[in-house]
Every structure is written in structure tokens, then in C-alpha cells.
A and B are shown apart, each in its own frame.
Chain A
Amino acid sequence: MVGIVVVSHSAELAAGLADLAGQMAGPDVRIEHAGGTGNGALGTDEGRVRDAIRRADGGDGVVILGDLGSAILTIRHVLDSRANNHATLIDAPIVEGTVAAAVMASAGSTLEDVVRAAEEARSARKL
């Protein structure tokens, strides 16, 4: 099953979104979060992101969603330094993308299908 990683400047935002996505996707999907710097400050940390990817990786791939600016840079640095990369950074709004990816992953979908569902969030209307 494809795993999900949520990266935010805020630990609370990342944890809350992982919780929301988990409530919708059910208990089988690994949804990991890496928010904040680890000492309670707002920001992102490469080590925390790397650990979250490792925890989310069940062998079928990982999709990663980040919130803003430097969170995306942090994720890209981590991915550039990984040798075996079946982890994919998604370019999409973080809430909608994470929830769509988690539900698609929960159906046992391929990495390709989970990526596509998450990227749909770019153009999805709310109304």
C-alpha cells in the first residue's frame, strides 16, 4: 500500500491533517507527519522528513505533500539525497491533496494512481 507523508511548518497542522486523512482513509494506510523543527518552533527539518518517509514506506511507494516554500525545498533536498527513490513530491494544495491521496491509497491503488488523485487537487473546485 502506498504511504503518505505530510510536511508542514507547523507540527500541529501536520499532525492534524494526518489525523483527518487517517479518519477518512481508515487504519491500513501509513500516514506520517513531519511538522516543525523538533524543538517546538515553526519550520521544517530534513531529518524529521527523512524519518517520516522511512516510516511511511511499505514498499509500494510514498507520496509527500508540503505546505509552503521552504517546506518544499526541504523535501526536495531529502529526495535528492535518497538513493532508492520511489517517493514522489506532489505539487498540489496540501489538505485536499493529502486526503485524496490517502483515500486512493486505501483502495490499494498503485503509486501512479495515488499521485494522479493527489494532483487532481490542483484544479478541484470546492463549490
Chain B
Amino acid sequence: MLASSETVVALPADVALHARPAAQFVRTAVGFSADIAIAVNGRQADAKSLLAVLALGAEGGTELRLTASGEDAPRALDALRDCIAAFS
């Protein structure tokens, strides 16, 4: 049975998940073996796919639901939470 984790984190009010922030987010996700999904307003994308994450069009302040399954799932979500917190 694989570990599965979930967290909800809001984007900073003035940072949309576009271009560079999206690239940082995906780069962080790719560093883990867990399968990671990001859902915004009911739409879900593979957190390791830049084009899929960009297509979510998440604006500043939006709540992101992150789910991960796999051995390093909790660490992956911690890292993504830190990544989002560092956006400015």
C-alpha cells in the first residue's frame, strides 16, 4: 500500500501560477518519485507537467489542492508547500 497525502495551500494573493512560478512548482514536483496531482477550482492536472499546470490558469490567492501517492509523498507535499510559500 502506497502512502497517500493531501494538502490545501493558497497561492500568495499577488502571484499567479504562470510562467516562472509554474516552472518552479513543476521543477520541485519532478524531484520526487510520488505521483502528484494539483487541483484548482475542480480541475486537476499532473503536477509534473508544465503545460498542464499552466493550463489550470490559477490566479493569485487561489486554493490549490495537492495530492500525492508514493513513498516520498509527504516530503513532496512539504517541498511544494515551501515552494509556493517562497513565491513573491
Contacts and interface: CB of A to CB of B under 8 A. Distances in A.
A24 B51 contact: no
B31 A124 contact: no
Interface of B: 19-20, 22-23, 26-27, 30-31, 49-52, 55
A100 B30 contact: no
Contact of B30 (A96, A107, A124): A107
Given A24-B19, A24-B20, A100 B27 contact: no
Determine chain A's interface SS by DSSP, over half rule.
Answer: helix
Contacts of A127: 55
Nearest to B49: A120
A27 to B, nearest CB: 13
A126 to B, nearest CB: 6
A17 to B, nearest CB: 14
Interface in A95-112: 96, 99-100, 103-104, 106-109
Contacts of A108: 31
B interface secondary structure, majority: helix
A23 interface: yes
Interface of A: 23-26, 96, 99-100, 103-104, 106-109, 113, 117, 120-121, 124-127
B55 A124 contact: yes
Given A23-B20, A24-B20, A24-B23, A121 B31 contact: no
Contacts of A117: 49-50
Contacts of A126: 55
A124 B52 contact: yes
16 contacts: A23-B19, A24-B20, A96-B51, A100-B49, A103-B27, A103-B50, A104-B50, A106-B23, A106-B27, A107-B26, A107-B30, A108-B31, A120-B49, A124-B51, A124-B52, A126-B55
A23 B21 CA distance: 11
A97 to B, nearest CB: 9
B31 A99 contact: no
Contacts of B55: 124-127
A112 to B, nearest CB: 13
